[in-house]
Structure 1
Amino acid sequence: MTDSAALATTAYQAMLTLVGQTEPRIAEAIKAELHDQRHSLKLIASENYASLTTLLGLGTWLSDKYAEGTIGHRFYAGCQNIDTVESVAAEHARELFGAEYAYAQPHSGIDANLVAYWAILSHLVERPALEKYHAKTVNDLDQADWDELRYALGNQRLMGMSLDAGGHLTHGFRHNISGKMFDQRSYGTDPVTGLLDYDALRKQAKEFKPAILVGGYSAYPRRINFAIMREIADEVGAVLMVDMAHFAGLVAGKVFTGDENPVPFAQIVTTTTHKSLRGPRGGMVLATKEFADDVDRGCPMVLGGPLGNMMAGKAVALAEARQPSFQDYAQQIADNAKALAEGLLKRGATLVTGGTDNHIVLLDVASSFGLTGRQAEGALIDSGVVTNRNSIPRDPNGAWYTSGIRLGTPALTSRGFTTSDMDVVAGLIADALAATKPVMTSAGAPGKAKYTIADGVAERTQAAADELLGNHPLYPGLEL
């Protein structure tokens, strides 16, 4: 055991002993979670494994400090150490992504998007059409002024990728706050290829004229040309905002460069700090200097007090991502995704867009295996493979049952999986799903939720997964 592994074992054993003395059920749940993660093929595209160093940074007394405000301008006294932590996290983010400004306070990706939206809307107040409000104080505004101002701020137009095409809930989904605070329209993908059609997107933007054009995705297995997205935004007078939560690690690791890197083209870029970036669960906003002051008002505009311990974890993870080895890791994520896609295709599976060139593989289980996404997700977890059901374009089964499952390679790549391993994983997935059948309803039609797996298949798949996972241990040397 290395010195660092021995230290980690000592630290985590001590932590669990202390937690167990107060609430043993929590200590047991923590140990059970590590066991479950060690013994399952984690293919959820939005999950990863943070380093032990990053995780230790989260469990500190920085959690105990209130620090509303910004660096050097807090609403509480005694925040000098939080200032240091936030400054270091922002410094690493700027250097890693080549951004003019970085804001490390958001607690999640959704929070980061809300900060970005309201920062853009606040920035729009400076437009000449609203100059009559500049000379007035809050007390001077009458009810008619407030009604007009709220309309101007909260009823702007937004265009983002539709949920079934691969967009995120916060890109304007009607049941999300983003779909309620904006006059919203969604853009989709080509009905034949499943790819973004930039000409159609440009035409739609010119007709709708959004104030904000959102790029980025949650379940789109291809890269985006952000130079074209910025051209479209400029043509219609929109601010280009990019949500790179899923592929931030591929940007940080220099897999996405040139026109595929959103940072040089978007005025505001949001991200999470986990997923492919391999840090703690949290959010972050990058922006040009033009929008820096507006984003800096995230607390108290949208956020509550920043979490000092979470920003410490972010700073550690961002420092790790600046190491040369992270670029090798990011490239392996993309290589592994391509190998997984090819392994599924050669076994007769149908993939949305026919493959991948990022970290996501979107498997159409309805066409491939006659299953809903919910059935496929359940059968796979029974077999030791953790995925999540996901809509596909124009999904006949809707957003709950779905017709697809989303697969991602960041987590298994963190464990050291290679392209040859991913071909084996593809075989396990295909075999388990081929052995799964929907349970028929009383009317004699295939059901959408229940399923059966042929005898012994789930057990054989789990055993094969365990053998593969044993070759790539999670947190080697850490024994609890």
Structure 2
Amino acid sequence: MTLPLQHPALSAADPELAALIGAEEQLQADTLRLIPSENYVSRAVLEASGTVLQNKYSEGYPGRRYYEGQQNIDQIERLAIARAEALFGVEHANVQPYSGSPANLAVYLAFAEPGDIVMGMALPMGGHLTHGWGVSATGKWFRGVQYGVRQDTGLIDFDEVRELALKERPKIIFCGGTALPRTIDFPAFAEIARESGAVLVADVAHIAGLIAGGAHPSPVPHADVISTTTHKTLRGPRGAILMSREEHAKAIDKAVFPGLQGGPHNQTTAAIAVALHEASQPSFRTYAQSVVANAKALADELLARGFDLVSGGTDNHLILMDLTPKDVPGKVAAKALDRAGIVVNYNTVPYDPRKPFDPSGVRIGTPSLTSRGLGTEHMAAVADWIDRGVSAAGAGDEDALATIRAEVAELMAQYPAPGLTA
């Protein structure tokens, strides 16, 4: 499938860069994208991201700016805020964070002092760098303590989490992560946070779209603060939102600006507003439910082919595979699958004996393929491609990978990607 030229001004001004962007568009059109943190945005979101809003500086908040000429910008930001509050049912939303990591840093600035104890899931167990992991600023400026999952089940042991929280008394407890294939038990975390006197922060960056679409329980009744990116399952631009109860609104807003950031990226705010509007439509609910149905169907097909899935399957959009029984390292498999037109990422698995840059696992997800219109009836073919690709990786069979790539491209041509055609 060859895409039409979509950037005439860019092609005239900088043909070298235009060619690279065109090549990326073609790659996204032809390949089966299974990285769970990636997705396709709509043409409307892309257009909002590239408007004259790029030309504006807007330090401050609506009605309280440090620059004049904000008549339209204030309305755009208020629209994004109102849509976020309505979609997620929260009392307060801040749509200015540049991305997920700055949003989480703002949480620390709002509720903790350097050196305080913070608690989150360990990175090798599926957590995020900004949940107090040692190599992150959050682990250097604060004392991070980590919980994990049980080795026998791959599930969080809440008795252990409670014991750790009562012993350490953290200022902040994070729940959520980057490689969690199961439903997050927000009520259990809330009870532990209440008992230990901590602020509970639900980092729902991966599952925000599933929450908005009713395919995952909401943290709103349970968490003090909710942090999320606006891309991934939410299908918006690369940005973030912080949401909270009204009692925390002032602390959150002060932490974002002037605490960490200057002027918001107004073009991103506009694109967030578009994505939130799209997420409020009935079709988005169908999409969210389909993401989960596809993931469960794909997990079943992989299990039937002898793959070892962390926790035995999935409740959401994400599958974490331990390739140790296949005798193929995760990095080797991921690079081979990429040559086969199947885009995944290598990933540590809980209690992984291998190093993080050469781990045992591969992480996959179904948001992108669902956005293209693939359904549960396609998951057997996807699992078969993965199975054949991993086998080819172990055997060094490049011809087999080339055959898979052609098959993938043929199916992708039948399901055009959102946003990539005029």
Query: TM-score, with normalisation over the residues of structure 1?
Result: 0.85
- Residue 377 of structure 1 aligns with which residue? 334
Partners of 1:256 and 1:301 in 2: CA distance: 32
Give RMSD over aligned pairs: 1.4
Runs (4 or more) in structure 1 with deviation over 4 Å come to none
Kept after mapping to 1: 8 A contact 2:29/2:420? no
Give, as a single letter, the amino acid of the residue that structure 1 aligns with 2:239: G
Kept after mapping to 2: 8 A contact 1:38/1:474? yes
Kept after mapping to 1: 8 A contact 2:40/2:418? no
**Is 1:462 the counterpart of 2:405 in the alignment?**
yes
Moved more, 160-169 or 72-81: 72-81
Mapping of 1:374-453 within 5 angstroms? 374-437=331-394, 453=396
Distance 1:255 1:174, change over 3 A: same
Query: Which 5+ residue runs of structure 2 have no aligned equivalent?
Result: none
Partners of 2:204 and 2:85 in 1: CA distance: 15
Partners of 1:71 and 1:378 in 2: CA distance: 46
Which of residues 286, 292, 304 in structure 2 aligns to 1:334?
A: 292
User: What SS does the corresponding residue of 2:270 show, helix, strand or coil?
Assistant: helix
Q: Deviations over 1:179-199 (max 9, x none)?
A: 112111000001100101111
User: What SS does the corresponding residue of 1:398 show, helix, strand or coil?
Assistant: coil
Moved more, 470-479 or 268-277: 470-479
Q: Deviations over 1:303-349 (max 9, x none)?
A: 12100000000000000000011110000000000011111100011
- Residue 277 of structure 1 aligns with which residue? 234
Give, as a single letter, the amino acid of the residue that structure 2 aligns with 1:312: A
**Is 1:36 the counterpart of 2:27 in the alignment?**
yes
Kept after mapping to 1: 8 A contact 2:345/2:364? yes
Partners of 2:145 and 2:294 in 1: CA distance: 34
Alpha-carbon deviation of 1:281?
Answer: 0.9
Moved more, 424-433 or 21-30: 21-30
Partners of 1:65 and 1:431 in 2: CA distance: 51
Alpha-carbon deviation of 1:115?
Answer: 1.3
Which of residues 291, 309, 313 in structure 1 aligns to 2:271?
A: 313
Kept after mapping to 2: 8 A contact 1:249/1:276? yes
Give, as a single letter, the amino acid of the residue that structure 2 aligns with 1:32: A
Kept after mapping to 2: 8 A contact 1:43/1:411? yes
Partners of 1:471 and 1:338 in 2: CA distance: 23
- Residue 139 of structure 2 aligns with which residue? 179
Which of residues 64, 71, 82 in structure 1 aligns to 2:73?
A: 82
Kept after mapping to 2: 8 A contact 1:363/1:404? yes
Partners of 2:129 and 2:391 in 1: CA distance: 31
Partners of 2:371 and 2:290 in 1: CA distance: 9
Partners of 1:90 and 1:477 in 2: CA distance: 28
Partners of 1:316 and 1:47 in 2: CA distance: 18
Partners of 2:74 and 2:141 in 1: CA distance: 32
Partners of 2:287 and 2:243 in 1: CA distance: 23
**Is 1:357 the counterpart of 2:315 in the alignment?**
yes
Kept after mapping to 1: 8 A contact 2:41/2:419? no
Kept after mapping to 2: 8 A contact 1:120/1:291? no
Partners of 2:419 and 2:43 in 1: CA distance: 11
Which of residues 241, 244, 247 in structure 2 aligns to 1:290?
A: 247
Partners of 1:103 and 1:476 in 2: CA distance: 27
Distance 1:321 1:158, change over 3 A: same
- Residue 53 of structure 2 aligns with which residue? 62
User: What SS does the corresponding residue of 1:299 show, helix, strand or coil?
Assistant: helix
Distance 1:225 1:178, change over 3 A: same
Alpha-carbon deviation of 1:80?
Answer: 2.0
User: What SS does the corresponding residue of 1:464 show, helix, strand or coil?
Assistant: helix
Identity fraction in percent: 44
Kept after mapping to 1: 8 A contact 2:348/2:359? yes
Mapping of 1:98-137 within 5 angstroms? 98-121=89-112
Alpha-carbon deviation of 1:475?
Answer: 3.6
Give, as a single letter, the amino acid of the residue that structure 2 aligns with 1:406: R
**Is 1:265 the counterpart of 2:208 in the alignment?**
no
Query: Which 5+ residue runs of structure 1 have no aligned equivalent?
Result: 1-7, 122-152, 438-451
Kept after mapping to 2: 8 A contact 1:390/1:405? yes
User: What SS does the corresponding residue of 1:170 show, helix, strand or coil?
Assistant: coil
- Residue 133 of structure 1 aligns with which residue? none
Kept after mapping to 1: 8 A contact 2:100/2:239? yes
Aligned length: 419
- Residue 237 of structure 1 aligns with which residue? 197
Distance 1:248 1:302, change over 3 A: same
Kept after mapping to 1: 8 A contact 2:41/2:418? no
Alpha-carbon deviation of 1:476?
Answer: 8.2
**Is 1:323 the counterpart of 2:281 in the alignment?**
yes
Partners of 1:436 and 1:319 in 2: CA distance: 43
- Residue 96 of structure 1 aligns with which residue? 87
User: What SS does the corresponding residue of 2:174 show, helix, strand or coil?
Assistant: strand
Partners of 2:192 and 2:14 in 1: CA distance: 55
Which of residues 142, 156, 161 in structure 2 aligns to 1:196?
A: 156
Q: Deviations over 1:393-415 (max 9, x none)?
A: 01111211111010011011000
Give, as a single letter, the amino acid of the residue that structure 1 aligns with 2:375: T
Kept after mapping to 1: 8 A contact 2:177/2:203? yes
| Structure ID, larger Rg | 1
Kept after mapping to 2: 8 A contact 1:395/1:403? yes
User: What SS does the corresponding residue of 1:222 show, helix, strand or coil?
Assistant: coil
Give, as a single letter, the amino acid of the residue that structure 1 aligns with 2:322: D
